[in-house]
Amino acid sequence: MTELLRPQAIGQDLARRDGPDKVTGTATYANETPVENPAYCHLIQADIARGRVSAVDTAEAEDVPGVIAVLTPGTSERLSSTEDKELAVLQTTDVAFRGQIVGIVIAETPEAARQAARLAAVTCSEQTHDVSLSADRVDLYKPDKVNPSFATDTSVGDVSAAMDSAAATVTETYTTAMNHNNPMEPHATTALWNDGQLTLWDSTQGVHSVRSTVAKVFGLDKGQVRVVCPYVGGGFGSKGTVHAHVVAAAMAARALPGRAMKLALTRQQMFSLVGYRTPTIQRVRLAADRDGRLSAIALDVVEQTSRIKEFAEQTAVAARMMYAAPNRATSHRLAALDVPVPSWMRAPGECPGMFGPEVAMDELAERLGIDPIEFRVRNEPARDPESGNPFSSRHLVACLRDGAERFGWADRDPRPGVRRDGDWLVGSGVASSVYPASRQAQSDATIRFADGRYAAEIGAADLGTGAWTTLAQIAADALDVPLDLVDVRIGDTDYPFASVAGGSSGTSTWGSAIVAAARAFREKYGLDPADGDEAQGQVPEYQAQERYALYAFGAQFAEVRVHADTGEIRVPRLVGVFAAGRIINPRTARSQFIGGMTMGMSMALHENSVLDPATGHVVNHDFAEYHIATCADAANIEAYWVDESDPHVNPMGSKGVGEIGIVGTAAAIANAAYHATGVRVRDLPVTLDKLLPGLD
């Protein structure tokens, strides 16, 4: 147990500190840093999915007025480390996926750079590529582990025997589509190499991890690299690791010392260069007795990775701990394809992994004639089925009950396809959410005092999560001073080391470091510090991890309407109730929840990166064709939480709120679509063509 802070600033409903700068557009993002006389980079990309670059003829490109240089595999610097093949930019002539960087144009203007990139003649010898994922490929393989370090397969008891003897079972295959993070701010890096010092203004979820990665790739000392990023225009995971364009920008800067290089990816380029969520094929088996007690849960997942770098999404891990079934089995198999490297996308693992099983739960509840909420309640485990540890707190049932009340679930007629309001078929659905309450092992913070004000410094990132504001609240309570006496300084490697904003661990990790620093500060200087006083602190060891199962939970309720003539599908109402520890700032936390739910709705109804097996690339690679929800799709989303304060997670008693909102949403919507129409769609996204054949 940790000593919990007495919440004063924590828990207050506060406007974002960066609000005024954002509503006037004066907050500066990576590509907007004012730099003297910048040059502009544009990437040249491979238009084959597998093969070899035999020649890059840059003559015509170099003739474009304003072009300064064209870097190619033949002319670029040799990198110090090429261990990470995704980052080995221009180090080889091999092409491993369509869209791979095969050249960099540097020019005086963005127009010239772009024109020249178009004129560079890349000749390739093409080999047959293979980008098709399927569950019956013979070359599927078992990775050593799945992200970040989970067992690939698990098996407890005997699922097959349980299936054979059960009163009711479900055996179905579900699929989720390839999805792209698509933060609104395209990935961008401004790079300057000056006197042996590399400065990167990079749009990133973690300045320190960019620094260590880039230092390693270029063989520099960490001290030679500074990374700055005060504002991030969204990331959802894609800015959580360094991608190739960052290396490209740094390379360009090193080729032209003293000149700042601006490199912003186009929206289209983001579909091949900055990661995506792998499509998944999920075979689910559930078995239960007549009373709705699960005897077996099994989830076998097939997904993809790239040939050059393994990324094994931990899709099945949630099924290991979610419900009390004595017989459990999970597995992950990968197909290594000629595709870009998959990467982190909001709630990796849990988000796709709670689709198949949560729809299957709905199917089994129906088969048993039990209300789907009741069915879930009956399968609440007393302890984590996987580790046997107690949950530090688990309020899934409270979320389900509270949500049912708010949503108006009580009088629900379970029969599918029987409600109609004008031209619309109406239905409702529910699903559970879960996300680990994690904390990173390392993060440091400094508290400084000057002119009567305190400053908390930590190289953290605010990608819209509210860190600018919530870290101030935490520091204020840790120092026991009014909030308006506290400044926060983040987004710069000049501040103490901070872990990446990912896995919903940011606030927990950085907040713990700030609390440690504040406690050290008070210990050192008491209540009456002098100007210039400062103290450091670091995140303590997460001892609770050994003894408890640490998770946030939630329940999502969707109302779905399907047009009886056209099959168009709308979600006029989505209600989520979460148990995520103590809420530091209700206003920003609510935004995180509804933001996740909105993205979950978008995943349920719209998002689908169409990978053409013939060309080998995602052909709907822009915002006109890759649909994400608009305001008209997602204007009515409600998020609530149940009171929960977990003394085991951290001194704030808080769990992460950034990802859980997207977990379960798609299942709730698919379940509601079934309830509306009687058509069970098991493949995301749920689009009208999948519903039409079942409508009268």
Partner 1 sequence: MKPFDYRTATDMGTAVAEVSGRPDARFVAGGTNLVDHLKLGVAEPDLLVDITAVTSAAVEDRDGGLWIGAGVRNSDLAADRRVRERYPVLAQALLSGASGQLRNMATTGGNPLQRTRCVYFQDVTTPCNKRVPGSGCSAIGGYTRYHAILGASEHCVATHPSDMAVALSALDAKVHVLTPEGERSFPFVDLHRLPGEKPDQDTRLQHGDLITAIELPPSPFAQQSRYRKVRDRASYAFALVSVAAALDVADGIVRDVRIALGGVAHTPWRAYKAEQVLRGQPAEVASYRLAADAEMADARALDGIDGGNGFKIPLVTRTLVATLRDLT
Partner 2 sequence: MPEITVRANGHARRVAVDTRSTLLDVLREQLGDTSPKKGCDHGQCGACTVLLSGRRVLSCLTLAVSCDDAEVTTAAGVSHAVQQAFVDHDAFQCGYCTPGQICSAVGMLDEFADGWPSHVTPDLTAAPELTDDEMAERMSGNLCRCGAYANIVPALRQAAGGPG
Of residues 12, 21, 27, 47, which one binds partner 1 by CB under 8 A?
47
Q: Whole-number minimum distance, CB 612 to partner 1, in Å?
A: 5
Binding mask 61-100 for partner 1 (x = CB under 8 A): ----------------------------------------
Residue 17 and residue 468 in contact, taking contact as beta carbons nearer than 8 Å: yes
Of residues 300, 633, 644, 659, which one binds partner 1 by CB under 8 A?
633
Tokens of 497: 């080391």
Give the integer Cα–Cα distance in Å for 395 and 694: 37
Give the integer Cα–Cα distance in Å for 366 and 360: 10
- Cβ proximity to partner 1: between 117 and 284 the closer is 117
Q: Whole-number minimum distance, CB 567 to partner 1, in Å?
A: 7
Is position 502 an interface residue for partner 2 (rule: CB under 8 A)? no
Give the integer Cα–Cα distance in Å for 424 and 417: 11
Sequential DSSP letters for 23-73: HTT-SPPGGG---SS-EEEEEEE-SSSSEEEEEEE-HHHHTSTTEEEEE-T
By three-state DSSP, how is residue 242 classified? coil
Is position 52 an interface residue for partner 1 (rule: CB under 8 A)? no
Q: In the block, which residue shows the tokens 């679509």?
A: 673
Q: Whole-number minimum distance, CB 80 to partner 2, in Å?
A: 33
Is position 597 an interface residue for partner 2 (rule: CB under 8 A)? yes
Among 454, 155, 176, residue whose Cα is nearest residue 329: 155
Tokens of 390: 């107690």
- Site residues (CB under 8 A) for partner 2, limited to 638-667: 638
The strand pairing partners of 55, in sequence order, are 123
Q: Whole-number minimum distance, CB 511 to ligand FES, in Å?
A: 22
Distances (CA, A) of 168 to 238, 295, 323, 348, 362: 41, 10, 17, 31, 13
- Cβ proximity to ligand FES: between 72 and 182 the closer is 182
Window of 277-285, 318-326, 495-503, 682-690 that interacts with partner 1 by CB under 8 A: 682-690
Of residues 63, 139, 423, 484, which one binds partner 1 by CB under 8 A?
423
Q: Whole-number minimum distance, CB 85 to partner 2, in Å?
A: 29
- Cβ proximity to partner 2: between 104 and 603 the closer is 603
Of residues 161, 415, 623, 643, which one binds partner 2 by CB under 8 A?
623
Q: How far apart are the first and last CA of the chain?
A: 59
- Site residues (CB under 8 A) for partner 2, limited to 181-200: 182-186
Give the integer Cα–Cα distance in Å for 438 and 503: 7
- Cβ proximity to partner 2: between 416 and 656 the closer is 656
Give the interface size with partner 1 as a residue count (CB under 8 A).
Answer: 37
Sequential DSSP letters for 297-360: EEEEEEEEEESSS-----TTHHHHHSS--SEEEEEEEEEEESSPPP---SSTTHHHHTTHHHHH
Tokens of 101: 């960087």
Among 270, 192, 198, 196, residue whose Cα is nearest residue 236: 270
- Site residues (CB under 8 A) for partner 1, limited to 551-580: 565-568, 570
Window of 81-89, 293-301, 464-472, 687-695 that interacts with partner 2 by CB under 8 A: 464-472
Tokens of 389: 């540890």
Window of 237-245, 329-337, 453-461, 617-625 that interacts with partner 1 by CB under 8 A: 617-625
Is position 267 an interface residue for partner 1 (rule: CB under 8 A)? no
Window of 44-52, 210-218, 302-310, 458-466 that interacts with partner 2 by CB under 8 A: 458-466
- Cβ proximity to partner 1: between 307 and 563 the closer is 563
Residue 541 is classified by DSSP as: P
Applying CB under 6 A, the residues found at the interface with ligand FES are 184, 234, 464
Residue 566 binding: pick among partner 1, partner 2, ligand FES, none (C-beta 5-8 Å cut-off by kind): partner 1
Is position 610 an interface residue for partner 2 (rule: CB under 8 A)? no
Is position 25 an interface residue for partner 1 (rule: CB under 8 A)? no
Is position 568 an interface residue for partner 2 (rule: CB under 8 A)? no
Is position 605 an interface residue for partner 1 (rule: CB under 8 A)? yes
By three-state DSSP, how is residue 549 classified? strand
Tokens of 477: 């309570």
Active site residue 659: yes
Distances (CA, A) of 446 to 223, 456, 502: 19, 6, 21
Is position 471 an interface residue for partner 2 (rule: CB under 8 A)? no
Residue 18 and residue 465 in contact, taking contact as beta carbons nearer than 8 Å: no
Q: Whole-number minimum distance, CB 17 to ligand FES, in Å?
A: 15
Residues that bind partner 2 in the complex, under the rule CB under 8 A: 15-16, 18-29, 31-32, 34, 109-111, 182-186, 231-234, 236, 264, 266-267, 463-466, 587-588, 590-592, 594-599, 602, 622-624, 628-638
Q: Which residues are catalytic?
A: 659
